[in-house]
Structures are given as structure tokens and as C-alpha cells.
Structure 1
């Protein structure tokens, strides 16, 4: 463990406390950034959810309201489209299995990266590209949060002034707390999933958008407009901008990165999972985006990874189906006292405390596996 300053010790304590609280993703994200600011001061930050399968952003979790215009310009005009090299993009860095890096305009003062990541640009060319996209003078810190080998969120911090820039101590502290933040965020995502009925009953119509080469909306079906409004509400940003998941699916078509990336993003909505796919629609460069609801009726079989006895598995399946203790006792022809005993053992074995956390654990097992998320190997 690196030697921590008093402020970093205090921030670490705050982060551990937050990891133990029952919060939804946006609530947790805001509090996480407040705690991190004490240990790593920044001027601008953005915390985003990551689709584990594609490593593309699928939602904005936290952003200062005053920085909304900066974020929208970045996600719509720079992300994957104008970034200097594939190696230093968010998907490229995640593909390499990294946890945290610092980018400066000079390759030699960037941290956590080997010179290979800047290929094929020379030091002078990279500096030119860095400044062409108005990157901050004080540098960029990028952190990536993974659990069980799958990336689920990422963070970008900016320092606007050239002094002080991000230092190796900032890199070391973020490297230390990244696993803790990853676990806290996954718990929040699980809690969010647990609030959605397994028997999803949201709209079942696929939405279609047609965008110009400059990403101006040319046509949208009513279903597409409805889905986009749901995504914007999730991100708490006002306006008629493209939601983050739509912007990133479109950005993946960039000529600079399309050979490395899928063009599909999956994102959780208030009525379940939504798959967003982007494609070139015509020779003039118009783009088509489809928004497809994934109304998967989960097969409620207790995962084989749950270390439960046969009797506990029977009780667990009925718990997942929403049965009360009295109903479980009637179905299995056992006493309610026996049901309560089985529940206690189930919760202890799975490291949960109640039915909601059990449902979250179930989603954790079946949803991420269903996404086919690629595993990472940290460097």
C-alpha cells in the first residue's frame, strides 16, 4: 500500500463508508466524486457507466451541471472521433487492462503508459493533436473500474491550469481505490436492477433514428423519441441532445476506431435493458440508429455458482419469484420456521442481508454473463 497523506487517509475512509451504503448509481457517483476531490483536486470530472461487452459508455453517472456543455461537445465531437490515437482512447486503454493513467501533452510526462500507446504518432504529433482538441493544460486523469474482470464504469478528471499537474501520487491513490469504487458501483447497479420487475412490462416497440453525417436528427420514430427521453432522464441532463449511449454507438463508427469496436451498446433503463445499434445508412454518410428493448424473461433457475443445498435452492427460487415466507411454506409443505431458517442460511452463504440484495446478486450473476463481457487482464 502506498504511503498516504492525512487527506488521502480521510478520503479513503469516506470511500469505504460510501461503499457500505445502499445508494443508486447517480447518488453514489456524486458522493464518490466529492470524496475523491479531497484527495485528487480537479476542475472538471465526468463519471460514466461502461457497457462491459463493448467497453463503450452507456450512461452519464455524474457531472457538474456547469460542465454540461463541455461534456456534450466532448462526447459528440471528440470521443473516438478526434482523439489522437486508438491506444489512448477509453476503449483502447480498457482493452489493455489498465486501471488508471494520466495524459499530458508531452508523452514523457504522461503516467502509467508505455510509448507504444502513442503509436503511430511522434511526440510532436501527439502534442499537436492533444492541443487541437482543446485538452486541458494541467492534464487528464482517466480511471477504469472493473469487477470480476469486467469494466463497468470509467472516470475522467481535468486540471485546467498547467500547474499543478496530476502527479504520480495521484495515480497511486486512484490505483489503490479503483477496486473499492468498482465494487461500490456494481452494488449500486445491482440495486438499480433489483428495483426493476423481472417480468418487464415496458414498451416493446423498436425505435429508429436517422442522423445526418454531422449527427443532426433527420427522422425519428415516436418509439425512438420515447426511448431517448428515458435515457436523458436517467442522465439528468436538460435539452434535446443525443443521450450518451446513442452518441457512443454513433462514435464507434468513426473511421479511426471502427475496426476495433462493435457498434452496439447496451444500457439499463427504467423498464429494462435497451440495445442500441448504429450503422451507416447511405452512401452520403447518413447514420441509422435502432433502439431495441431487450425484454428478456429471465429463466429463474438458481445459478450453479450459488453454494446452496437442494432445499435452499428450492427456497431461493421461490424468493426470486417474489413469494412470501407463508407462500413458500405452503408450496414446499414445510413450516414457516423452516423457511426462515433456510432464508438465514441462504443470505449468509451469498453475503446478502435481505430479498432485495438477493435479487441484486441474482442479476449480478445472470445479467453480466448474458452480456458476454470480455474479461480483462490488468497490466
Structure 2
């Protein structure tokens, strides 16, 4: 799907007919309530697990589904579960991307705990790895241990500024020195996980990846059921976003006015050939045309534990990019495992010379982008479940 924060200006002229009263009304609409978890992180909740979990819930995750559920146990531990209602059955049938999001959650928890001198002992899938999809078994068991040897992670300071920037980037490449710094800061490939992060700004490779990512985006957009999955998860306007602070937020005064004025709706977003449907195509084409660097995260295998480790590395790459003033945006449509994407999936892996059992777990645009606001989040207490 295209950036959700860019204005669909094709409907802008019609807004002149809506009158100044509506303009005054939409100017009061705010999603600040849905962004409150970003403000609450850093506050004391009276329990070091909760203090660290307040950062963990800010992790990147597919379609902002926030699939984590936490069951506190004893005085110093918890089990992490997947909220099975948050999966993406059309675009992520094996729940691989959802598992990656859960790995990012665990990494931010680990970093936040380390800030307070706690070591997070993480046991992935203590009751076995669920296949072919996730089930109600725990994704991980985590214990906190006070450990004087635990040191803060230098990337943690970026946690509240980390974003996925889904806008067009400046039309300039990242220099080799900065890319080397990115790889060093992220530390991927030096952690014993069997994973590596590669980047390219070489024109032939970038042109090839730009073409592949564009074709893959078109497939997801053109297949009715995969497109509809995204449209159904859109939260259009402050009312919807504050009521359900997950999914794909479409906010801002112009978007609010267009929604209230009937210019944009889920039906029109789903209707092939409609103005807003075609605008999405134009916007995403512009986004990709400005891309001058790509990066991809590779794992040696594709077990559930590999996927969790990929999520841990994913968020570290995002944090490292933030520290260097770089923007990062996952363009992972080509990695989705539904039938219509299979040919492009194989073509992409051949292009980057990754053969089974290895696989690419994440593909990213890298560059220089605008500042973006934080994404909506469910409050921490809503993610806790009873024992």
C-alpha cells in the first residue's frame, strides 16, 4: 500500500465545496490519544518488566497489527504470545512476518531492561515451534535477572525516534562510509545468529530491485483479496484511529476532510479504476522512483527461531539508520508467500543470490527522508492477559 500520510490531492478541489465549518471541525481532530504510549515509555510502572514492556510495544510490526500478548508470571518473568486475531492470512499465510514483529518486540524489551541493569533471558518457543502457522503456544518465555555485568545498548537511545518512513526520499545516494557505519552499528552478522545484512547503491542492482519491488507491489495491489486485507485494516481519520490504534493509520486534516466529505472511503479504495485507487498507484511509483539504496536481511534458515532473530536484527537496523539520520522503509511485498507472488519471490532470491535453506527475511528502502510522527499504539495494559 502507498504511504498513508501523503495527501490524495486528486480530491482536494472538491474540499472547497465543503465549507469552512467542516474545515474548523477537522482542525480539532487529533490522534494524540493513540500516540500516548510513546509518551508513557520511560515512566515507572512499579515493575521492571512493565517498564521495559512499555518500550517493547513500540516495536515495528507488519501493518501495525501489534500482535503481542503478555502474561506476567511469578515476580520476574513473563510469557509472550501471539494474538492470533492479529495475523495477516492473505499476505502472510505462514505468519512469518508476524513472527518477525514479535522478535522486534523482544529486542526492544531486552534493550530497555538492560538500561536498568537487568539481563533478559529469552527462551524462544519453550513448548516447541508451531507449524505451519502460529498457535496458542508461547512465542517466548522471558526472565529478568539483575546482573551488574549487563551494559546498556548504544542503540536504545533511538527507540522513541525510530520510524518506518513511508514517503519519497531525497534523490541522492548514501555514501559508502555511511553504509559501512550502518552495518557496524546494527551489528548484524556479528551476533552468532547466522544472519547478515547487505546493502547496495550500485545503479544496476538498484534499478533491478526497483523494478522487482514495483512489480511485487502491483501484484499485492491488484489481487482483490490481498488488497482488501490492507483496506480493511485502514483506520481513516482520528475517530477510527483513537478507537482502534492499530492497522494502517490515515490521518491529518486533509485526509480527515476527504473522509468526512465522502471523497475517500474503503469502498473507493477497493474499487479498481477509482480516483483514489489510481492515486495509490501513482504515489507508490513516485516513492520507488526516488529510491537510491536498498538493504536486505538474510537468515541461514527459516525456522520460527530464525524469524524471531530476524525481527531482533530488523529493529536494530532501523535504530542504526535512525542514529545516522537515515530513513528506512520495508518493501517486503516480494517476500510474501501467497501463490500470485511465487514467481517474483523466486526471481528476487535469484537476483540477490540467496538459495535455500537461506532466505531473505526483510527488504528495505534506505535513504534520506522526512520526519514522521509516531504510529498509533494500543496502551500497555491492553496487551496484558491473565494467567
TM-score with structure 2 length normalisation? 0.24
Q: Looking at both structures, which has the greater relative contact order when contacts are Cα pairs under 8 Å and sequence separation is at least 6?
A: 2
TM-score with structure 1 length normalisation? 0.24
